[in-house]
């Protein structure tokens, strides 16, 4: 089979930053599914791992990629959730070979049945971001429509892949008043199209929040840079509110600043369950099935924004460059 990978962390403009190569198709065992991939999408974690994971060149090629939709080709002897021929979608495990290849092994416990109402490229846009938002909202922050409907949430980074799903789930599932940040006309329009009630410019966040009448909000989620927005978060969060983040702060964050308001803080990393083989690892299977149901019901929709065609090094380089620019909107998908 063919795959795209790298054996050294290089700038994306380097010809060898990502290369096409041939390798053996992996063999299934245990709870593994062998999936014939039909489409993938690319996330910021892809370029971050490419930039930082192999500072010293190695002989073997590293294959990354954490979003895919495809067909189950083979199942391991301990598989009970899926059968050959099932259409699936998943984000995978950061400690294993990723989806930038024709076939991939994935533990059945972190795989869901693909939505029936959309095609593989649209489905491939959804797993990592949907899992991230679902886990942050429901598993970490314990948000609930019965107790939280009508409350306010500020989503920092509304036009990105995670933010786009967060807007939809916050609005359509939880019934929250959604305020998203964006600064360019196309990203503002995208956020509104996802369902945001208000869109504010992150460059003047405090002033714009005051202008729309929200000097305080019940919940804040950061999908961009916790250090950059920390002081604004501390000021804007209501007493006894909740803050969640997925970003990687380069400097220490002073959580003590939240103590006076008795504000709770929540980290989210959707790879945690697979990385540590947690007892509830199978929950990702159930979450993805729920996401598929919401899509099929029309409650949320795919956040695919751009489609590239073919598993090639050039297409993956283009996707990485777009994400590294910080100007991409929604999700970039590669249709095999």
If asked whether residues 164 and 225 sit together in one domain, one would say: yes
pTM of the model: 0.97
Give the pLDDT confidence score for residue 41 in this predicted structure. Answer: 98
| Pairing mode of beta strands 331-335, 19-22 | unpaired
Give the pLDDT confidence score for residue 143 in this predicted structure. Answer: 98
If asked whether residues 133 and 122 sit together in one domain, one would say: no
Structural domain contains residue 57:
yes
Angle between helices 44-52 and 313-324 (to 10 degrees): 100
Structural domain contains residue 174:
yes
Give the pLDDT confidence score for residue 310 in this predicted structure. Answer: 98
If asked whether residues 159 and 238 sit together in one domain, one would say: yes
Structural domain contains residue 272:
no
* Closest by CA position to 18, among listed 323, 316, 333: 316
Give the pLDDT confidence score for residue 258 in this predicted structure. Answer: 98
If asked whether residues 224 and 254 sit together in one domain, one would say: yes
HEC profile of the chain: CEEEEECCCCCCCCCCCCEEEECCCCCCCCCEEEEEEEEEEECHHHHHHHHHCCCCCCCCCECCCCCEEEEEEEECCCCCCCCCCCEEEECCCCCCCCCCECEEEEEHHHEEECCCCCCHHHHHCCHHHHHHHHHHHHHHCCCCHHHHCCCEEEEECCCCHHHHHHHHHHHHHCCCEEEEECCCHHHHHHHHHHCCCEEECHHHHHHHHHHCCCCCEEEEEECCCHHHHHHHHHHHEEEEEEEEECCCCCCCCCHHHHHHHCCEEEECCCCHHHHCCCCCCCHHHHHHHHHHHHHHHCCCCCCEEEEEECCCHHHHHHHHHHHHCCCCCCEEEEEC
If asked whether residues 215 and 185 sit together in one domain, one would say: yes
The domain containing residue 156 runs over which residues?
Answer: 129-267
The Cα 172–Cα 246 span in angstroms is 22
If asked whether residues 76 and 110 sit together in one domain, one would say: yes
Structural domain contains residue 110:
yes
Domain termination residue (choose one: 267, 300, 317): 267
Low-confidence ranges of the chain (pLDDT < 50): none
CATH code (residue 309): 3.90.180.10
Structural domain contains residue 329:
yes
CATH code (residue 186): 3.40.50.720
293-308 pLDDT per residue, tens: 999 999 999 999 999 9
Residue 247, number of CB atoms within 10 A of its CB: 17
Domain termination residue (choose one: 246, 267, 288): 267
62-77 pLDDT per residue, tens: 999 999 999 999 999 9
Total domains present in the chain: 2
Give the pLDDT confidence score for residue 209 in this predicted structure. Answer: 98
Give the pLDDT confidence score for residue 320 in this predicted structure. Answer: 98
Structural domain contains residue 207:
yes
In angstroms, the Cα distances linking 283 to 270, 290, 293, 301 are 11, 11, 15, 22
If asked whether residues 40 and 135 sit together in one domain, one would say: no
If asked whether residues 248 and 297 sit together in one domain, one would say: no
Domain termination residue (choose one: 244, 267, 290): 267
If asked whether residues 210 and 234 sit together in one domain, one would say: yes
If asked whether residues 313 and 244 sit together in one domain, one would say: no
If asked whether residues 139 and 222 sit together in one domain, one would say: yes
Structural domain contains residue 147:
yes
If asked whether residues 67 and 147 sit together in one domain, one would say: no
Give the pLDDT confidence score for residue 246 in this predicted structure. Answer: 98
Contact (CB, 8 A) for 241 and 217: yes
């Amino acid at each position: 089979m063919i795959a795209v990978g790298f054996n050294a962390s290089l700038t994306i403009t380097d010809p060898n930053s990502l290369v096409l190569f041939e390798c053996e198709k992996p063999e299934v065992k245990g709870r593994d599914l062998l999936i014939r991939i039909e489409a993938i999408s690319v996330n910021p974690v892809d370029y971050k791992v490419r930039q930082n994971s192999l500072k010293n060149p190695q002989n073997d090629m590293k294959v990354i990629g954490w979003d895919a939709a495809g067909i189950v080709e083979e199942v391991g002897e301990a598989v009970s959730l899926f059968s050959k021929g099932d259409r699936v979608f998943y984000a995978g495990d950061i400690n294993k070979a990723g989806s930038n290849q024709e076939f991939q092994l994935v533990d059945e416990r972190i795989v869901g049945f693909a939505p029936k109402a959309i095609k593989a490229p649209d489905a491939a846009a959804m797993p990592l971001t949907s899992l991230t938002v679902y886990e942050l909202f429901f598993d970490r922050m314990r948000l609930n429509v019965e107790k939280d409907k009508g409350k306010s949430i500020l989503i920092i980074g509304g036009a990105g892949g995670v933010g786009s799903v967060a807007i939809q789930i916050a609005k359509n599932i939880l019934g929250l008043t959604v305020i998203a940040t964006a600064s360019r006309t196309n990203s503002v329009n995208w956020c509104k199209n996802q369902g945001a009630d208000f869109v504010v410019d992150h460059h003047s966040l405090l002033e714009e929040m005051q202008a729309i009448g929200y000097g305080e909000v019940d919940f804040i989620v950061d999908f961009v840079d916790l250090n950059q927005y920390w002081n604004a978060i501390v000021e804007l969060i209501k007493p006894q509110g909740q803050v969640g983040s997925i970003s990687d702060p380069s400097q220490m964050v002073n959580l003590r600043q939240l103590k006076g308001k008795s504000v709770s803080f929540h980290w989210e990393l959707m790879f945690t369950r697979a990385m540590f083989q947690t007892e509830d690892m199978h929950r990702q299977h159930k979450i993805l099935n729920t996401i598929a149901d919401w899509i099929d019901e029309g409650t949320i929709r795919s956040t695919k924004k751009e489609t590239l065609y073919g598993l090639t090094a050039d297409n993956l380089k283009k996707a990485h460059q777009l994400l590294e620019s910080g100007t991409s909107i929604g999700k970039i998908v590669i249709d095999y």
